[in-house]
Amino acid sequence: MPPTNWLMTTPQLSPIRRREFLKTTVAATGAVAFPMVVPRRVFGANERLNIAAIGSGGKGQVDIDGCESQNIVALCDVDPGRAAHMFNRHAKAAKYADFRQMLEKEAKQIDAVTVSTPDHTHASAAAMAMRLGKHVYCQKPLTHTVFEARVLTNLARKHKVATQMGNQGHSNPDSRRYVELIQAGVLGDVKEVHIWTDRPIWPQGIGRPSGSPPVPKMNVVGQLM
């Protein structure tokens, strides 16, 4: 677990932005949902964003799938077994077990980062990526404290990067239409709401670990072997 003061630490690498693709988006909206930023037409390899994923198995797979029309250049996961199918699917992507090493080594190659790890690393991973000038899509909860949320907000503004927390469902046209109808008074004064959900539609969490599996082997630069 990276120390909390990582939020206040500036990496030694200088921010590098190789593409101008998202600059106008940042200026206009200040945020972008990665799964929805991709236009219908297919861009050439040099027109696509280079995406790195912090967390590649489980929920990480869903977030990577939302960016697969872009260039997936680096994947990180502490559990190579759980992420094996994604590592195999993106065989050309660099593989890492430590997101800090991935960001430091691949900084010049990355335009944007997805963060799909357990909750306690969200803020640290997002903060490091933003300090390197990378656009960030981070799963919820974004932070544990209001202080951490303010730090990330200030970093996004300072480095002029597009960011979004994993609430992309509310970016869908249907959700926006509901808001428009209510605000326009089409439904009158809403006094009572009935809601139904099919969640959980998949098993939540995992069982208690058993046994003592060995720590995955890594080479000197922290890449999975």
Q: What percent of the chain has pLDDT over 90?
A: 56
- Render the chain in DSSP notation, one character per residue: ---GGGGGPPPSSPP-----TTHHHHHHHS---HHHH--SSPPPGGGSPEEEEE--STHHHHHHHTTTTSEEEEEE-S-TTTTHHHHHHTTTSEEES-HHHHHHHHGGG-SEEEE-S-GGGHHHHHHHHHHTT-EEEEPSP--SSHHHHHHHHHHHHHHT--EEES-GGGGSHHHHHHHHHHHTTTT-S-----------SS--S-PPP-S-PPPPPB-TTS-B-
Q: With cut-offs at 50, 70 and 90, classify the pLDDT of residue 194.
A: confident
Tens of pLDDT, residues 143-169: 999 999 999 999 999 999 999 999 877
**Thinking of the domain 4-171, which architecture would CATH place it in?**
3-Layer(aba) Sandwich (3.40)
Q: Where do the structural domains in the chain lie, given as residue ranges?
A: 4-171
Task: Give the mean pLDDT of the chain.
Answer: 82
Please indicate whether residue 203 or residue 73 has the higher confidence score (pLDDT). Answer: 73
